[in-house]
Amino acid sequence: ARTDASMCVVGMGERRGHVVLFGGSDGNRALNDTFLLDRSSYTWSRLTTSFPLPDPRAGHAAVALPSGLLVMGGGDGRQGLHTAFIFEAAILRWREIEGTPHLAREGSVACYDGERGRVLLHGGYNGRY
C-alpha cells in the first residue's frame, strides 16, 4: 500500500497516454520508485531509470507537461524538500531542474498553463503556520 504518491497521464509518441506513478510513502518511509501503466494492456511495470533519481518523497506536487512529469517539493519524513525533477517520458529518464529552488512544502497542488508555458504551484505546508 502507498499514500501521498503522484500519478499523471503523460507521454509523447509511442508513450502517449501512459500513466506514471511516482513516490509516496509505504507508511514507514518515503519512496522514489517510478511505475508506468500501459493503458493499452493495463499492465504496470517498475521502471529502472538512469540517475539522478529524485530523492524519496511523499506529499509532493506533480503535473503533466507536454514532455513528461514535473515533480516538486514534498517531504521525506524528516524535512520538506525544495528540489524539482522532470521525468522525460520519451526516454524514461529523470532530470533535476537547476536554478532557484522554491520554498520546501508538502501537500501543494500544481497545474500546467499550456497557453503560457508555465506551471502554477499553490499552497502546501512548510512546517510553520
Q: Report the percent of the chain where pLDDT is more than 70.
A: 91
What pLDDT score does 89 carry? Answer: 84
Average pLDDT over residues 16-24: 86
| CA dihedral angle for residue 9, residue 118, residue 71, residue 101, rounded to 10 degrees | 180
37-61 pLDDT, tens digit each: 877 788 999 988 777 899 999 999 9
Res 36 pLDDT > 60: yes
What pLDDT score does 101 carry? Answer: 65
* CA proximity to 74, closest of 46, 28, 109, 50: 109
Res 15 pLDDT > 80: no
On average, the pLDDT of the chain sits at 87
SS3 121: strand
